[in-house]
Amino acid sequence: MISLKQKSPKLLVIGDLIIDQYLWGDTDSISPEAPVPIIKIGNDSTLLGGAGNVIHNLKALGADVDLISVIGDCEISSKAKALLTDINISTKYLVLEKNRITSKKTRIISSHQQVIRFDRESTKIISKSSQEKILKTFKKIISEYSCVLFSDYGKGIFDTKLTQLLIKIAKKNNIKVLIDPKGSDYSKYTGAFLLTPNKKEAIEATKINIKDKASLNNAITYLRNKYELDVSLITLSDQGIAIYDGEFRSLPTVAREVFDVTGAGDTVLASLGFALANDLNIDDAVKFSNLAAGVVVGKIGSATATLDEIIDYELDLNNSKSDVNIKTLIEIQALSEEFKIRGKKIVFTNGCFDLLHSGHVQYLEASKNFGDILIVGLNSNKSVAAIKGNSRPINSEEDRAYILAALEAVDYVVVFNENTPINLIKAIKPHILVKGGDYEGEKVVGEDIVNELKLVSFIGGKSTTNIIKKIQDTN
């Protein structure tokens, strides 16, 4: 994901624009008029939903986005246009259709629970005139985009004939079409790059009861073959996402805690489109969308996930696996650049850390206190032998790296082969370099590269050499 930073692909969203209103309150009594709770509204919020939420998710990821949709001549439409303008989305491709009501869903939330929802909308198929305007605009602008996303909420935009024409035009221009489908008849989506139905929707569309791996394989294969998709996906809630592109596999979910699944499908569609527009392969794109969905279901309401949130979420998920914090030079350089962009102070120290003892741990804890991220450069087996002789190290570089990476104070470990970590320091360019107190008054390798050098005194009597000597004397 770090490789996606600073990238802004141009994507086009076509779909049903919805206004999501949330009324937030508390309840502590029952109405005397009927056995229903009285909710005292404390505040309210109005957000873009439907295709608007797909756009919100794309904008949060850093994409450049345009929208084609149909709105009515009503007050809700005016609010929708204002919300689009607020997030710098052009309204020039919105088609106005008289006597139509733009969809608005109002939800009442009490104690983090959705109590009720009421809707006001038009759901009839848009007029022939509106369809012709969409088609004319699409033909004119399609070549500008890396990917097209169809957000079908069943509100009337995706007439079968129009949908098929749009897909064919996109394919003629070699543009991928990703669709969040609606209903049980997917024939209008034939020829799309991929669809993103959930398990329930896939069962309705295929008439296959998905209850195990075999039936899931049958359903996902049926969807790809029948509707001539490049890739067939089925989202499986807490069981992840299944993929079939000639080969079946399933990638696990990464959600830790679920508060609200509202808009999670929009996040999956948007993050898949963003990832594919940045040339990620389908497996990496699905992994990315899984992480994005994991972020948003931990929030209340139609939510979005930024790249920073996704990166933090993945790092947090991996905290229990020490080896994921052992990085190559290229990986740590990319991570360092990312942390600097986000205002994190990077601390660097290095050493052999052969037989880890309390002196090492306290030294590393003191080092971490100088900043936000502690990166430890670890001398390789070859490097240790060159410095300390052929009898060292006692422990292999793999074992030493893993133990260091498991320490709470250490964020990342990088193994280096040279006698000094100068190349590593040049790559990372840390803010602070930490060395032992025995370097007082001496020239320290890399101190001219960093902002500040810190010296930390070692605990007397604690050393690997002393431990080895004690073992030898015992024998």
pLDDT in tens, 78-128: 999 999 999 999 999 999 999 999 999 999 988 777 889 999 999 999 999
pLDDT at 275 over 90: yes
pLDDT at 255 over 80: no
Q: Encode pLDDT of 303-342 as tens digits.
A: 677 777 777 777 666 555 556 788 888 888 888 887 887 6
Task: Identify the pLDDT of residue 261.
Answer: 46
Determine the angle formed by the axes of helices 51-61 and 75-86, rounding to 10 degrees.
10
Percentage above 70 pLDDT, the chain: 89
SS3 of residue 257 by DSSP: coil
> Could you confirm whether 152 is annotated as catalytic?
no
Residue type at 34 in one-letter notation = A
| CA separation for the pair 372, 314 (Å, rounded) | 18
- The separation between the first and the last C-alpha atoms of the chain, rounded to the nearest angstrom, is 52
Task: Identify the pLDDT of residue 259.
Answer: 41
- 113-120 and 103-110: which strand pairing? antiparallel
* Residue 296 confidence class, pLDDT cut points 50, 70, 90: confident
Active-site hit among 16, 66, 260, 266: 266
Task: Identify the pLDDT of residue 298.
Answer: 61
pLDDT at 257 over 70: no
- Helices then strands, each counted (H, E), the chain: 15, 19
| CA separation for the pair 194, 228 (Å, rounded) | 9
> Which residues, 6+ apart, have CB-to-CB distance to 86 below 8 Å?
none
pLDDT at 251 over 50: yes
pLDDT at 258 over 50: no
Task: Identify the pLDDT of residue 465.
Answer: 63
Buried b (16+ CB within 10 A) or exposed e, 232-263: bbbbbbeebbbbbbeeeebbebbbeeeebebb
Dihedral, 381, 385, 386, 390 alpha carbons, nearest 10:
-150
Q: Encode pLDDT of 166-196 as tens digits.
A: 999 999 999 999 999 999 999 999 999 999 9
Q: Encode pLDDT of 398-424 as tens digits.
A: 999 999 999 989 999 999 999 899 999
Q: Which two tokens stand for residue 102?
A: 């733009």
Task: Identify the pLDDT of residue 81.
Answer: 94
Task: Identify the pLDDT of residue 441.
Answer: 80
Q: Who has greater pLDDT, 310 or 222?
A: 222
> Looking at residues 51-68, what average pLDDT do you find?
93
Reported pTM: 0.67
Q: Is the separation of the CB atoms in 220 and 234 below 8 Å?
A: yes
The mean pLDDT value of the chain amounts to 88
Quick one: which of 2, 65, 59, 113 has its CA closest to 337?
2
Alpha helices, H only, 146-281: 160-172, 199-206, 213-226, 264-277
* Residue 256 confidence class, pLDDT cut points 50, 70, 90: very low
